[in-house]
């Protein structure tokens, strides 16, 4: 598989996880977010997937798009995976409600067009 194809697949994974976050937190207040472990843990899991997908993007792709804060996204994934006792719920809620929708929009704009299906013979 060509790197460009892998990059598109990883962007798609990140977009799907971002959309999942949107579904989990739609209409949820910060107080409810903190009180409901299932919602909080689901958001954290999807953020981890976004970070892992972004980490797998080719270096050349990330370097070609410095407008996206790749290091911070990957860094958040590392915190969620390895420094879970230091998670700031307010920070995660802000990321989920304000920054993830922007990231999803940025990634969608970078996805290559889907090639048309071949014509039947």
Residue numbers annotated as active site:
77, 82
Coil vs helix vs strand at 19: helix
User: CB-side exposure of 119: number of CA atoms within 13 Å?
Assistant: 1
**Quick one: tokens of 78?**
């590392």
What distances in angstroms separate CA 92 from CA 49, 86, 108, 115, one per listed residue? 14, 11, 22, 36
Burial-class residue 15 by CB neighbours within 10 Å (0-12, 13-18, 19+).
buried
């Amino acid at each position: 598989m060509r790197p460009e194809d892998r990059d598109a697949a990883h962007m798609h994974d990140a977009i799907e996880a971002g959309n999942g976050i949107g579904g989990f937190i739609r209409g949820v207040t910060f107080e409810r977010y903190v009180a409901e472990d299932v919602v909080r843990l689901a958001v954290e899991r999807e953020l981890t997937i976004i970070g892992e997908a972004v980490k797998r993007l080719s270096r050349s792709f990330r370097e070609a798009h410095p407008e996206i804060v790749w290091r911070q996204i990957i860094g958040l994934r590392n915190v969620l995976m390895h420094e879970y006792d230091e998670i700031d719920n307010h920070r995660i809620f802000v990321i989920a409600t304000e920054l993830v929708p922007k990231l999803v929009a940025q990634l969608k704009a970078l996805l290559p067009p889907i090639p048309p299906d071949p014509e039947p013979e």
